[in-house]
Structure 1
Amino acid sequence: MNWIDYRSARPYNYSRSQIAPFPEKAVLTLNAEESQLLAEMALSVPANPYNTKEQELFIRHAAGIARAFSASSAAFIRRELEHGFGAVLVKGLPVDEDLPETPPVGGSLPVAYKKTFISEAMLVALGVLTGAEPFNFRQEGRGKAPLIDNIVPVQALKSQRGAGGYDNNFPFHCESAWHRKRPDYLILLGVREAPGAYTLVFSVEMFEGTSWLEEAGKIKDWFRLKAPDLYLQMENAGIPMGTARYSFAPPLEKEGDTVRLNINFNGTDCISEEAVQWLSALEDFVEAKTAGTIITSGDALILHNYNTCHTRTGYKPTFNGEDRWFLRGYFKKDLWERRKDGHEHNTDGTAIHDLVNAGWMTPEGTLTMEFSKYVFEPDETRKLDGHLNELAALAFNYTPISGTRIV
């Protein structure tokens, strides 16, 4: 099969000079009393989210903060995510008052970089309100896999269309759409804003009254989503992917009377030129219907990762310590659900037997904590040779290990 890389066939050329405002119906503004209560609870959390040993304690306390949101706020968030626009902009959240400079690189932070963790607590608490669990991918943070990603401009990544990049408009995408553990929800929480740095959102609501609702039921096998180049580079360097390289979900997928999005205009292969033209028309529609907002300090944008796709505009950082800085968190409802029998790497059961003998899996089919060192220390995986290396690549397809939250 001679697949056509969509982005190569249709180079990106959207100016985004006209951006519609984020819909008011999907904006929730907390009152001062609610915000103050949340701040006091966040300041009392006795854990540091950047200390791996304290992460579970931090999450438990953040879950308690989630219960402190008013019933009306919690109901608004759930209703709008599941049955409305598919995204909610929460404003008026408490913020850390004594902020250090914007870090020079993203990912995790040194344990002592910040004095307080109000923003991190708000991120996790909002995620808990969705009914999902926080997690991250091993490859994020270039292999350091923080529970919470700090996203900042990085000079060396200026032209990258992803975290760290800033000198270009980034195509629309659903977060990690090809991955077996695709997030159900994504949260972007502002620490520092950058004038002109818009986050854009497209919702399935925008298909109402258009022919795209009919198209969603027609397209089946014209496309494949693929892993980002960074993940492939890390795999080649000895860090197994932990999922298949490709997913064959169509960009628009019919589910009952609704449409699900499986979009990544920067990471899709097309089966033919006709498929390229179809996807190009869809991208034109998405770009024309986008809504945007500048995420400021005290804002959190919660995205349903099947009902929306999102992106950012290019912007110009100054690298003076006051540049754009936001937190990113992934949340999934069935995070610890075991893989079903019949995994593509395990057709005869031999590999599972070998994983059990290696001490990496229980007879019931769950990974043991013995394997966790390979999750947290990528260099340990690189030391494995021959059959053990192959087994580790298979084992990563069964992550996360309960309690680790790393896929």
Structure 2
Amino acid sequence: MIEHADADRLRDLTLELVEVESPTGDTAEVARLYARRLEEVGLGVEVLDEVFPATPIVIGRLSGSEPGPTVVLNGHLDTVPIPHAPPRVEGDLVYGRGTADMKGALACAAEAARAVKSLDSFPGELVVLATGLHESPGGRGEDLAWLLQEHGFKADAVIVCELGSDRFIAAHTGCATFEIVVSRPGEATHELKTEAGTPHPIVAAGKVIDAVSARSAALGAAEHPLVGSDTYFFGEVDGGDFYNRFPTTCRLVGTRRWAPGSVLADADREFRELLARVAAETGCTIDLDLRLVREAYEIDPEHPLSLALRRGYADVTGVELPISGGKLVADAAFFNGECGIPAVYHGPAGSGAHGDVESVPISELVRATKVYLRVLEHLWA
């Protein structure tokens, strides 16, 4: 059994990575830092920056001396663009933007690679993969999609090193963001000088909300056993520019989520049919911009990769991972989808991702690293 997981190295690399600010779309500096650290571990490293120069893709490879699978430890180096207090260590916790989401996990990947490098032999290849366009809406995985679909990246199994710290995520919904613009022709006018019967974009937007809410309630009648029902959600509404001017536009922004078995095209078709009915009723023009965040994800808990993760977790912790699902979306959907590469989620349990105060316990970095090493041993067996 490989047991190498040095808490001090994990702490120091996590802190070093979070000391470099890397909001989505601006990760070149931290990508090159991470590439240097992987080279120091002994991996052969590529930094792909021709297509995405501001967000290079980092690929570190470690080849074994025997035939075997190519196993990937995958993560993202970008963070949400929310200010955070300066990074620091207090006791068992490393604080800073990206500690939990997910530079700490990438420190685990590097430490796991270090342990594998120390072996006399192992089968196949270990790959550490880091990207920089993960956090929507600034990024939607364009770099990872390019790597898999156009660059021709291949692998046999992937561990996405986030989520699932205390449960086995067998499924999650797909997700898209939407922006709806409800409009009418003409200019904004005083409410008392507007011709009777002029379509009212804000009133029409209210009808959109009513129709979408009714559809969302109807979708609640059918639930996927792990992720629940499909949903619509409104997060922003704005329209008009003055209290007594008849507006020309109203804007609605939110999310649409769907269970495994459906895809973006299904959600898009349903949404447009619904909005067309409201447009016909109100006389307004209603435009929809529906953009994919991630497709839905699902993997059999009895798949060999799933079993390797579940057994590896039990080896390290002495308890079983409960099988679960959720509505949060992440990058296993890219691998499992059109690419057909089995992928599972597992990361260290941090707190405050996307919040005001973000941290990860050093003990969790150690635990996650040990789980990755045990998963590798089960896959090699």
TM-score strictly above 0.5: no
Looking at secondary structure, tell me which structure has more strand per residue. Answer: 2
**Under a length normalisation based on structure 2, what TM-score does the superposition of the two structures give?**
0.30
**Under a length normalisation based on structure 1, what TM-score does the superposition of the two structures give?**
0.29
Q: Based on CA coordinates, which of the two structures has the bigger radius of gyration?
A: 2
